[in-house]
Amino acid sequence: MAIELNALGKEYTPGNWVLENVSAHINSGEFFAIVGPSGCGKSTLLRMIAGLIPISAGELKIDDQVATDLPPKDRKLTMVFQSYALFPFLSVTDNVAFGLKARKFPAAEIKERVDRAIDLVNLNEFKDRKPRDLSGGQRQRVALARAIASDVKICLMDEPLSNLDAQLRIKMRTELRNLQRELGLTVIYVTHDQVEAMTMADHIMVLHNHAIQQIGTPLEIYNQPANTFVASFFGTPRMNLLPARVDADRELLLANALKLAVPRDLPVADYVVGLRPNALQLLPAGNPANAQVRTVEYLGSEILLEAEMADGTPIELMAAADENYQVGDSLSVGIAGRAYVFDHAGQAQFMVEGGVRHGGNDVDTKTAVHA
């Protein structure tokens, strides 16, 4: 059950496009995450696929059939919401069976499907309880069981884990992923949480500014971000972004302090250089100071230092937990890992690691994905 989005667009009011030109191919049986900040249009896209709101432009195909204007009930998909949408007065069993009864499945088949779905989500001992007597995680499992029992192979999920506490959320990520694989479901999963997308998805679509910023595997998104937005959205702590210019030696000068050797043919222009915190290093005393500590955060095994370069550019970097740093200390910071070079508009150009250049701006990161 593959899904194809061809140049989908949405305007709630004429001329105000909240989404434009959204194209992707979602393979049968894959876990596809849609990620982006609040208001970027994630739920809007999911609702268009579900048929809950009309599609303003483009074409949607489900299982090779045009589905752009199909009523929701004919789209062969189920949906799991953040709010679970359970009936409070019905037992777990009746909640799971509700859709099948409404669609007039034979009683024996309903029982078989419901029993199997409840068993799969490990709720056997809670079958007769009402939702109010269940924990958040158990309620979420009822919602999942309902989707599973329907025997529909496409499941759309909108922030389904966001009401759970941190520990349960992590446990449910694994459970959900295992279940999705076991049942061969095609899942489209909306989240604002980059870690959730990274840990669960086969492919991730990053939405921002009404449009796709990048589609790729979690590793591609992390290691080859298409632009500064994607670069700083994924990874904790965030990637440092430093203003840079080509200096008289034809090297890149970052934040007026750090030098990065780059290809000789680099056009003279302004750039932005991205360095993840672990790509910066603290040089031993005796090296010239180029930054000052602003905050010190103990993370357990490491310390996160927020500092400011002499030109005012903020940076974050890691230090060993046994080092003693105070606010106001002078630091000597150097480059120790991969540097991502973006043009002044934030588009990825190439990467430099150990003096060697990788990649180029000829990689099309928005093309449809195929497993």
Ligand X SMILES: Nc1ncnc2c1ncn2[C@@H]1O[C@H](COP(=O)(O)OP(=O)(O)OP(=O)(O)O)[C@@H](O)[C@H]1O
Closest distance to ligand X from the beta carbon of 361 (Å): 28
Closest distance to ligand X from the beta carbon of 192 (Å): 5
Of the ranges 20-28, 36-44, 180-188, 331-339, which one interacts with ligand X (CB under 6 A)?
Answer: 36-44
Beta bridge partners of 253: 245, 259
Q: Are 182 and 104 in contact (CB under 8 A)?
A: no
* Binding of residue 211 to ligand X (CB under 6 A): no
Closest distance to ligand X from the beta carbon of 33 (Å): 13
Sheet holding 291-298, edge to edge: 314-320, 302-309, 291-298, 330-331
CA-CA distances (angstroms) from residue 283 to 168, 269, 271, 291, 336? Answer: 41, 29, 25, 11, 10
Pairing label, strands 203-208, 186-191? unpaired
* Binding of residue 93 to ligand X (CB under 6 A): no
Choice between 42 and 203, CB closer to ligand X: 42
Q: Which three-class secondary structure state does DSSP give residue 182? A: helix
Closest distance to ligand X from the beta carbon of 159 (Å): 7
Of the ranges 33-41, 104-112, 149-157, 175-183, which one interacts with ligand X (CB under 6 A)?
Answer: 33-41
Closest distance to ligand X from the beta carbon of 155 (Å): 18
Instruction: Tell me the backbone φ, ψ of residue 310, rounded to 5 degrees.
Output: -60, -30
Of 14, 15, 38, 364, which one interacts with ligand X (CB under 6 A)?
38
CA distance 83 to 318: 38
* Binding of residue 163 to ligand X (CB under 6 A): no
* Binding of residue 40 to ligand X (CB under 6 A): yes
Of 26, 30, 42, 131, which one interacts with ligand X (CB under 6 A)?
42
Cα 212 off chain centre by: 12
* Binding of residue 39 to ligand X (CB under 6 A): yes
Query: Given the structure tokens 């349960």, which residue do they identify?
Result: 168
* Binding of residue 80 to ligand X (CB under 6 A): no
Total binding residues toward ligand X, as defined by CB under 6 A: 11
* Binding of residue 89 to ligand X (CB under 6 A): no
* Binding of residue 18 to ligand X (CB under 6 A): yes
Of the ranges 22-30, 42-50, 290-298, 329-337, which one interacts with ligand X (CB under 6 A)?
Answer: 42-50
Cα 352 off chain centre by: 25
Of the ranges 35-43, 99-107, 143-151, 194-202, which one interacts with ligand X (CB under 6 A)?
Answer: 35-43
Of 6, 21, 43, 162, which one interacts with ligand X (CB under 6 A)?
43
DSSP character at residue 232: H
Closest distance to ligand X from the beta carbon of 9 (Å): 12
Return the residues of window 98-137 that contact ligand X according to CB under 6 A: none
* Binding of residue 208 to ligand X (CB under 6 A): no
Sheet holding 240-246, edge to edge: 258-260, 252-254, 240-246, 270-275, 339-343, 348-353, 356-358
Q: Which three-class secondary structure state does DSSP give residue 18? A: strand
* Binding of residue 28 to ligand X (CB under 6 A): no
Of the ranges 37-45, 212-220, 329-337, 338-346, which one interacts with ligand X (CB under 6 A)?
Answer: 37-45
CA distance 324 to 214: 40
Choice between 52 and 327, CB closer to ligand X: 52
354: CB partners within 8 A, 6+ apart: none
Of 192, 259, 338, 357, which one interacts with ligand X (CB under 6 A)?
192
Q: What is the DSSP string of 109-158?
A: HHHHHHHHHHHHTT-GGGTT--GGGS-HHHHHHHHHHHHHHTT-SEEEEE
* Binding of residue 41 to ligand X (CB under 6 A): yes
Report which of 43, 64, 18, 368 is spatially closest to residue 188, judged by C-alpha positions: 43
* Binding of residue 12 to ligand X (CB under 6 A): yes
Closest distance to ligand X from the beta carbon of 198 (Å): 17
Sheet holding 57-62, edge to edge: 16-26, 3-13, 57-62, 65-66
Residues contributing to the site for ligand X (CB under 6 A): 12, 18, 36, 38-44, 192
